[in-house]
Amino acid sequence: MKKGSPVWLLSGGLVAAFGASLCCTGPFIILLLGVSGSWISTLAAFEPYRAYLIATVIVLYLFAGWLVHRPIERCSEGSVCSIPESRQRYQILFWIFTVVALLLVLSPYWLAWLA
């Protein structure tokens, strides 16, 4: 892992986004796979933590976005953002991870249209 790499922030945000969507997406996917049972309703126990997980996603992605998109003059020598090729690669990864996290966080709303 390179110095100043935002990979841990992006991965942590994606895990938190998955956790935030677990109460709604989890049962839906399990039912689509043909698994049923009363235990599926226990996945709704994650609903009280949804707001905290969403806040975690926002904080992690704001910090990762700041690391990736800050001016190149403010980057320290040898860090990821000072190398143009790495900088562009991380910017693309940042936006891909952001879209996936946004889809997961907003899943209770768009899953209602699928059901």
Inter-helix orientation angle 84-105/50-69, to 10°: 160
Average pLDDT over residues 73-98: 85
How large a percentage of the chain has pLDDT more than 70?
A: 92
Contact 65, 11 (CB under 8 A): no
Question: Sorting pLDDT into bands at 50, 70 and 90, what band is 67?
Answer: confident
- Predicted TM-score (pTM) of this structure: 0.77
